[in-house]
Amino acid sequence: MPNWHMAPMGEAALLIEHGSPEVAVANSAVIELGRRLHQCAAQAQIRGIESIIPAMHSVLIRFDPLQCSRVELERLVWQVADETASQHVNATANDLAVHSLNVIQIGVRYGGEAGPDLDDVARHTGLAPQDIIALHTAQPMRVLMMGFAPGFAYLGPLPVALNIPRRSTPRAAVPAGSVAIAAGMTGVYPARLPGGWHIIGRTDDVLFDPAQQPPSRIQPAGGVQFVRIGNDDWI
Amino acid sequence: MSQLQILNPGAVMTVQDWGRPGWEAYGVPRGGAMDPFALQASNVLVGNTFDAAAIEITGGGAEIEFVQSTVVAITGADFEPRLNHAEMPLWQATFVRAGARLSFGARRWGARSYLAVMGGIDVPLVLGSRSTYLPSRFGGLQGRPLQMDDVLSVGPGRDTAHLAGRRWPMNARPAYTVEPVLRLLPGPHVDLIAKDVLANLIRQPFKLALTSNRMGYRLEGATFPHTTSLPSLGVLPGVIQIPPDGAPILLMMDAQTTGGYPIVANVIQADLPLAAQLLPGDTMRFTLIPESDAVADYRTLNAWLRQCARELALEDEGIWMAANAR
């Protein structure tokens, strides 16, 4: 409970931040809080919640101030946070395979033309390309949050050995399907987008299609297991 | 079924409705009309639902031909609209005949006009909305700005020809003006940047940089450089965030759902229509207000929309009853 901090973001949104410095702890707490608030809205325990946006260590609630007051909303959040805290399990990435039904597989061609930065990452981390691929496919990654672009998921945590900062100069455009790592996280660019992460591979899977509901194969609070595919004789 | 044809899209012309709330957790912005008040008012005037799709016309020079006769209304910016060369009143329902041409001239005031057509613009629903989201090229007409020779269909709707001539009251509109004073509430990270950031934000005017668009406005004026970095968090239109270079960014309707820059203030919802009517080079000022005023003003805008809709519906009904009695 004392871990939560609430602040208004204008009169139509409430930011709820978790105080833990550990991303894994804060993130699993905000995902659980977001899930429960979603239930409250669905069960009409409160009116006026328009969207719930979970992020790295915070949840943003957009609401209609004409349907519910910020004070009412804060009261509900405290109540839900309290319940969550008393039942909270300290989930780690390893629990994901066991607990989550929402892990999808994404096939990736690593290195070469598909992953132009794999060698750079090898130099930077001191790992062989084969080891980088093995670590990247070793276990499912958790969806920490979605954002930046429609269908883009921040996945993690990456094994510590793969921790490398963002590229010093971002690319103006990276191809759709690029699989990249940076800052302890990995992600797949669902469309041609500007990108500052290191591209180690590419998938041919379509990850975002606005004609579908939901529009994204990767689900908020879900997981992703990367799978190595295709011919990689280049190694 | 009625249609209209784009003869000239002007600077930028897109299909917009009230947006697609509820997909933000997937990284999909709500989007929608930059000026939600003007959009809704234009719809009410022609007898549509509040959230029907209309054409957002940015900048002057646009030209549109109506293939069938219908009822239309233009709200928002004033680009000297003319119907077959005769001046066309804004904020008023107007009957247009088949073959009539609507043309927009020079900018008198504002940035975005909304053209609502009886029945609403009929393009496919994408995630529950007809709004064009240009950065990801979906929604609207094939996810792109409208072009010369595009033909748009209009949805089926009741005939509202009798609404022609209805005017939107002058005293039931946002305080549209040149160089608006946008009202702010303090943001969650105001203490992470320089102490006097709010005092400096309200001290001088800011100018919209050339790179401003539907995603956000880059503001030129005072700068607040800093080295604070934050984990990404959810954001929404109205947020004023400060990147490390210190030049404030005001997020607008097509803003990404998350951001990582400190948020020092939020433009209140009731003033987003004023911000929507600015173009690069225009100036604005800021002032701070209490949260209760923000909610009260938002309530007032909503009450105007509902009251005008109710009055028009009543007249509408009266006219129908009179017609049926005959």
Question: CA B320 → CA A99, B155, B163, B316, B325, distances in Å?
Answer: 61, 21, 11, 6, 8
What is the value of pTM for the model shown? 0.94
B1's tokens: 């079924």
| Band of residue B162 on the pLDDT scale cut at 50, 70, 90 | confident
Q: Which of A35, A53, A56 to mutate to test the interface with B (most CBs of B within 10 A)?
A: A53
- Confidence band of B324 (pLDDT split at 50, 70, 90): low
CB A225 within 8 A of CB A100: no
pLDDT digits (tens, 9 = 90+) for A15-58: 999 999 888 889 999 999 999 999 999 998 899 999 999 999 99
Whole-number Å distance between alpha carbons of B138 and B126: 7
Lowest mean pLDDT among A1-5, A97-101, B187-191: A97-101
Chain position carrying tokens 């929608």: B32
Single-letter code of the amino acid located at A164: I
- Tokens representing B300 are 């007032």
pLDDT band of A85, cuts 50, 70, 90: confident
d(CA B15, CA B33): 9
Element (H, E) at A71: helix A70-87
Are B298 and A66 a contacting pair at CB < 8 A?
yes
Residues 183-202 of A with CB under 8 A from B: 191
* CA–CA distance, A15 with A8 (Å, rounded to integer): 6
Indicate whether B284 pLDDT > 50: yes
Burial class, A128, CB count within 10 angstroms (exposed 0-12 / middle 13-18 / buried 19+): exposed
Identify which has the larger pLDDT, B183 or A169: B183
Burial level of A156, CB count in 10 A (0-12/13-18/19+)? buried
> What pLDDT, on the 0 to 100 scale, is given for residue A88?
53
Per-residue pLDDT at A232 = 57
Check CB contact of B129 with chain A, cutoff 8 Å. no
CA dihedral B20, B25, B28, B29 (to 10 degrees): 60
The whole-number pLDDT of residue B53 equals 98
A37: nearest Cα among A9, A2, A72: A72
**B293-303 confidence digits (pLDDT tens):** 999 999 999 99
pLDDT at residue A94, rounded to an integer = 45
Q: How many residues can be counted in chain A?
A: 235
Contact state of B126 with A56 under an 8 Å Cβ cutoff: no
Kindly state whether B291 is in contact with chain A, defined as any CB-CB distance less than 8 angstroms: yes
DSSP B269: G
pLDDT value of position B159: 80
pLDDT above 50 for A147: yes
Q: Mean pLDDT, to the nearest integer, of B123-139?
A: 97
Q: Does the beta carbon of A55 lie under 8 angstroms from any beta carbon of chain B?
A: yes
In this prediction, what percent of chain B has a pLDDT beyond 90? 88
Q: What would the mean pLDDT of B126-134 be, rounded to a whole number?
A: 98
**Mean pLDDT score, B122-144:** 97
Q: Do A148 and B24 touch (CB under 8 A)?
A: no
Rounded mean pLDDT of B265-273? 98
Q: Per-residue pLDDT for A13 more than 60?
A: yes
CA distance A40 to B79: 46
Mutation target to probe the B interface, by most B beta carbons within 10 A, among A4, A5, A11 is A11
Contact A12 B236 (CB under 8 A): yes
Contacting residues of B for A60, CB less than 8 Å apart: 233-236
Within the 107-146 window of chain A, which residues sit less than 8 Å (CB to CB) from chain B? Answer: 145-146
What is the average pLDDT value for chain B, to the nearest integer?
A: 94
Q: Check if the beta carbon of residue B165 is closer than 8 Å to that of residue B91.
A: no
Residue B35 CB: number of other CB atoms within 10 A?
A: 29
pLDDT given at position B325: 60
Choose among A55, A65, A150: nearest Cβ to B26.
Answer: A150
What's the CA gap between B91 and B168, in Å, rounded?
A: 5
Longest CA–CA span in chain A (Å) reads: 62
Q: Which residue spans within A47-113 are E strands per DSSP?
A: 49-54, 58-63, 103-110
End-to-end, the C-alpha distance of chain A in Å comes to 51
pLDDT tens digits for A148-205? Answer: 999 999 999 899 999 999 998 889 999 999 999 999 999 999 999 999 999 999 999 9
A with B: how many residue pairs have Cβ under 8 Å apart?
143
Q: Residues of A53-88 as b/e, b for ≥16 C-beta within 10 angstroms?
A: bbbbbbbbbbbebeeeebeebeebbeebbeebeeee
Q: How confident is the model at residue A97 (pLDDT cuts 50, 70, 90)?
A: very low
Tell me how far apart the alpha carbons of residues A166 and B244 are, in angstroms, rounded to a whole number: 16
Contact A87, A93 (CB under 8 A): no
The identity of residue A47, as a single letter, is R
pLDDT of residue A84: 78
Helix H or strand E segment including A42: helix A23-42
- Rounded CA-CA distance A214/A217 in Å is 8
The distance between the two most distant Cα atoms of chain B, rounded to a whole number of Å, is 74
Nearest to A83 by CA among A50, A27, A39: A39
Cα-based torsion angle of the residue sequence B55, B56, B61, B63 in order, rounded to the nearest 10 degrees: 0
Lowest mean per-residue pLDDT among A96-110, A211-225, B217-231: A96-110
* pLDDT the model gives residue B161: 82
Around Cβ B191, how many Cβ atoms within 10 Å? 12
Encoded tokens for B318:
């009266």
Whether B284 contacts chain A with CB within 8 A:
no
Q: What is the DSSP string of B201-248?
A: HTTS-EEE-TT--SSEEEEES-----------EE--TTEEE--TT---
